[in-house]
Structure 1
């Protein structure tokens, strides 16, 4: 498995997974993400196995910090170690950077309560730490 900077040919796959993985209310216009990548404000990475598309990252990089703005793995590869391996590869791309992300707070009344717990536990297993910052 590898991650590499996304090129135009990857955008179709990224866009499809982006729309399938994130609710409309959480999505920025994809054209803005692409423009920010062209302008150097963001970076888009694809996760691949040989030539097969497995997922993507959209990151904002500033000084020694990397915000993972979006991260998704294709449904057939979820729960099979692809996400954790991809995060390790991303940390190798940015070895001297602090990598962080946002997740929804746990809320047992939320429609996706179990998903929120699973997502948080996944990131904790991957070495992320809670900041205590809540919105």
Structure 2
């Protein structure tokens, strides 16, 4: 298995778009057009997940000095149960960030509980601090979620620092403007 970073138009984007839009409600993602505009951002990585050169999923992550933040991750629904998600997470860990962080929905139903259990089996820890996914639009509202990490975050100050870094560099930095959706900075 390997990740193929996509930085420009690519044939895989049509399938990734379908999974992206089916897997994540609009409040929890950008429009796909907005995502495409971010492909050349050096800290954003939109990667096709390939198993024996077959597209089996995608991952979007942001990488900074000590923090790697997973924004979106999905495996082809037809390929689930074949351990591709587990392999992808193992591959992500080999990037060796000091901190690996991702958001998950609160455990309110069987699907969200199973998702959290999946990440816990991959070595992620639930952190005991309140978290809201920032909105993808300037006029939106945050969504209560949990921030999972490798390793666990034990102090509020570090948790707040990471939350602020994610909010500023993934969300607020790219709010649409009246003249269009342009990355700032």
TM-score by length of 1: 0.87
Runs of 4+ in 1 over 4 A off after TM superposition: none
2:55 corresponds to which of 50, 53, 56: 53
**Structure-to-structure mapping, 1:1-135, within 5 angstroms:** 1-7=1-7, 8-9=9-10, 10-92=12-94, 94-107=95-108, 113-135=109-131
* CA deviations over 1:31-59 (Å, ceiling 9, x no partner): 22222231224111111122211000111
CA contact (8 A) 2:62 2:70 kept: yes
* CA deviations over 1:12-47 (Å, ceiling 9, x no partner): 121111011111221212222222231224111111
Task: Write 1 or 2 for the structure with the bigger share of helix.
Answer: 1
Q: What is the RMSD of the two structures over their aligned residues, measured on CA atoms?
A: 1.5
Look up the SS of the partner of 1:103 in the other structure.
strand
Look up the SS of the partner of 1:76 in the other structure.
helix
CA contact (8 A) 2:104 2:116 kept: yes
| Counterparts of 1:97 and 1:74, CA distance in 2 | 29
Look up the SS of the partner of 1:124 in the other structure.
helix
Q: Aligned residues, how many?
A: 129
In structure 1, stretches of 5+ residues that fail to align are 108-112
**Bigger relative contact order, structure 1 or 2 (CA pairs below 8 A, ≥6 apart):** 1
Bigger radius of gyration among the two: 2
In structure 2, stretches of 5+ residues that fail to align are 132-185
